[in-house]
Structure 1
Amino acid sequence: MSQQGDDVDGLVRNRLRALRVAQGWSLEELATRAKISQSSLSRIENGQRRLALDQLVILARALDTSLDQLVETGTDSVVSNPTTYGSHEVRRWSIKAEPGMTVVRRRITEPPPESPARLRAHPGREWFVVLSGAAVLLLGSDRIRVETNQAAEFPTMLPHAIGAEGGPCEILGLFDREARRGHRDDLTADPPPRRHRRSAAGQNWCSPPSTSRFAP
């Protein structure tokens, strides 16, 4: 198998495990829902059994996702820079705003986890803007550094985690409805999230250079 094939194979296996853990299910519970043996599921997750299309379809359905999301690999153009315009140097990040999106401001002090087992995956899509410091986004097998004023956008079906690099960082996280459900345990301790404000075009997030209109 090619290196790319190996990477996709490993990504899907990690995603299956991360989705199961995110649901709080044991191997036995997911195996029961998917109507396959627990030993087969264990071998699939651990790479001891080849991935078969029919089993992936069944597992995707049991995990309340789709086959397309389960095997999605695209991570191109994750990081973007803002456009600065006007006399007040307002920064704008192009993001496709959706109804029901949630905005949460967070301070991160820890680096991202070293163990792939601690990455999570769940349906949805997530964005974040780094307000200060530098963040590291682990996305599948990629490690992506996101600097102050840069934004990142990614599908949360890819196993992921966000940490700080070189000191604390502050980010503004944006979640669609599905992504927020996937982070419900993390966000319950945060201040009440605010709904987003959209520009006239409905597709841009704007803020002055040193402050954020979405800060709690």
Structure 2
Amino acid sequence: MSDDTDDMDEVLAEVGPRLRRIRKERGATLAGLSETTGISVSTLSRLESGLRKPSLELLLPIARAHQVPLDELVGAPTVRDPRVRSEPIVRGGRTHWPLTRQPGGLQAYKVLEPQRKIEPDLRTHEGYEWLYVMAGRLRLLLGEHDVILGPGEAAEFDTRVPHWFGSTGEGPVEFLSLFGPQGERMHVRARPKKPQ
């Protein structure tokens, strides 16, 4: 019994530093997090320094504000999605999880773009891309257009058009990317209309 208690105390002791690290990685301040979560600055500070024990009531709004699973805040062991067998790839500060296993042809990725402010660098290349935002807001520059996509919104475009996509600087964004290097296009079938 005391071994279990010691293990639990050890897990709880690591929550504070993890909360601080995640907040700083996202460029958030205690005041900003307080405003978003409704938790006082002093309570947040005590949580991060380990002077206050974390509770579900406090951790849930923090997880929502940072758009991370609760498991990440408490350091629970990662349970891998059995459908995703590939290791994540970090490229240019962005994390990609490959969702397709065969080389060539249409490639699918789950992507996490951290909160950051970077100067857009528009590029062109052969191919066709489809983006779908799951959480956060994604900025897309496409030719002369500058668009912000929110959760549930999608865009598709020919990658020969100058383009760039990334963080709006407001928070992290999680999205799906489907890319056809030879210009393959997604084909979405519309539901047939019911006869009137």
Q: Provide TM-score, normalisation by structure 1.
A: 0.38
Q: Structure 2 length normalisation: TM-score?
A: 0.41
Q: With CA pairs under 8 Å and 6+ residues apart, which has the higher RCO, 1 or 2?
A: 1
Larger radius of gyration: 2
